[in-house]
Chains A and B, each alone.
Chain A
Amino acid sequence: MKQPEGFIVPGKEHLVCRLKKSLCGLKQAPRQWYKRFYSFMIRQSYCRSQYDECIYFQNGSFIYLLLDDMPIASRDKSLIHKLKTQLSNEFDMKELRATKKILGMEISRDRQVGKLFLSQQKYIERVLDRFNMNNCKLVSTPLAAHLKLSSKLCPDTKEEMKHMSHVPYASAVGSLMYAMVCTRPDLAYFVSMVSRYMHNPGKSHWSAVKWIFRYLKGTSGIGLVFDRKMATTNDVAGYVDSDYGGDLDR
């Protein structure tokens, strides 16, 4: 490390500067921001969730910290208003009213029938555009049974590897993964399949990825629906399954 230009002390060039305050862009900065926000919320007598350390709550109202976005949820509008005033006294912030979009997810609500709809149509369209899959033909399932992927299909000659090195495999899988994590659990199996060959993808792996894009093209508008009528109990239910016989690489 060197002393910054214009602040060099003659005769003491071997010394470095000591920071008294966190700077934006340093690797320590996110931690400092989290600590600052945490101590502020504790002062407002909010509790931090034990299970997700970005959720703070206080009798029925919640705030979720997403770096610098903070959706607030509460049964009582006055509580939301109170928290907003407290926050704006402490931080510079902009109020965006009812949440329409967060992390690329579009939120639409129908309060009369009690439905909440999460989708990523814009995001998916942008991804399709980036990989030039806008005009592809549609398919109805995200991976057909005839595309049997295994590590045997990985390229082993130099030519094939060179050919595959021009393919943006990892970034395509990454884009799919983001959609999967947010609103598209239907992609989960297929993304897990194609991401197994990230280290050395072959031509057939890439065509499987393109197949998923073709499925996405036809279903970009679908998303998760949370329906009040469908919720029979408050209890969480889980479903598990596994497939050992079908795994070619076992």
Chain B
Amino acid sequence: MSTTEAEYISTTEGVKKAIWLRGLVNELGLTQGVLTVFCDSQSAIHLTKNNRYHDKTKHIDVKCHFIRDIVVAGEIVVEKIHTSENPANMLTKPLPNTKFQHCLDLVGLYST
């Protein structure tokens, strides 16, 4: 297992959630266009786009490659975001206070 694989799996999980949320929000009356999932790992993003067979990614579980079908169909776009602007960063490791506060601002957690 590698960092790329870990990022790839988490992207797949994010896309799965996005598909469900799109359906729910659509039903609530806000019509959705093409959804964007932001990922801070360039290599994982390339894996979602490049549909080619490669020895170095052979071991990744086949179920994770379902994200490729979704991306090819154009339903969801995976885009790059810098780590410091990624609010999901605070969900992976303990951060220093300033970075943590920045993530809180990004997700919209404030005091009144």
A binding-site residues for B, Cβ under 8 Å: 49-52, 55, 57, 60, 62, 108, 117, 119, 140-141, 143-145, 147, 184-186, 188-190, 219, 221-227, 230, 233-246, 250
Contact = CB atoms under 8 A, between A and B. Distances in A.
Nearest to B1: A244
Interface residues of B, number: 57
- What does DSSP make chain A's interface, helix, strand, loop or mixed? loop
A238 B35 contact: yes
Nearest to A62: B28
The 3 closest A-B CB pairs, nearest first, are A244-B6, A240-B14, A243-B92
Nearest to B32: A235
Contacts of A119: 112
B32 A238 contact: no
A233 B21 CA distance: 15
A241 B10 contact: yes
Interface of B: 1-3, 5-7, 9-11, 13-15, 17-18, 20-25, 27-40, 81, 83, 86-97, 100, 103-104, 107-112
Nearest to A226: B108
Contact of B39 (A141, A240, A246): A240
Contact of B104 (A55, A186, A241, A246): A186
A245 B3 contact: yes
Contacts of B108: 224-227, 230
Contacts of B13: 240
A245 B41 CA distance: 14
B18 to A, nearest CB: 5
26 contacts: A49-B24, A49-B27, A117-B112, A184-B109, A186-B100, A186-B104, A188-B91, A189-B92, A190-B94, A219-B111, A222-B104, A223-B110, A223-B111, A225-B110, A227-B108, A236-B32, A237-B35, A238-B17, A238-B21, A238-B35, A238-B36, A238-B37, A240-B14, A241-B10, A241-B83, A241-B88
Contact of A51 (B6, B27, B97, B109): B27
Contacts of A147: 94
B93 A189 contact: yes
Nearest to B103: A186
B104 to A, nearest CB: 6
Contacts of A239: 14, 37-39, 81, 86-88
Contact of B94 (A50, A62, A117, A145): A145
A34 B19 CA distance: 26
Given A60-B29, A145-B94, A240 B111 contact: no
B32 A185 contact: no
